[in-house]
Amino acid sequence: MKEISVQEVQQSLKNGEKLNLLDVREVAEVQEDHIPGIINIPLGLLEFRLQELNKNTPYIIICRSGGRSGQATEFLAHHGYDATNMVGGMLAFKGKVE
């Protein structure tokens, strides 16, 4: 499974890079705080909403601590998507949130 650190994501965002961030937390969790510009598809709905994602687009997968995003990353990779797990999740994220 491909992984990226929270620090790498934060630095890329700080540098103005356009990242495709897929947050797999539940809607209520995302409403509390999230990285601006994320796509939110809760983990339990991911298999039903795959058509919303593009296999040619690299995605960084996010959750609260890295567990659900790890599951989602493996699931997406198995289905031919370019997915990378953000290790540590939102608990470790210190960048700008909404």
Give the integer Cα–Cα distance in Å for 25 and 62.
8
Which residue bears the tokens 């509390």?
A: 32
Would residue 63 show up in a list of annotated catalytic residues for this protein? yes
Single out the catalytic residue among 63, 72, 86, 90: 63
Give the integer Cα–Cα distance in Å for 7 and 86.
9
Catalytic residues: 63
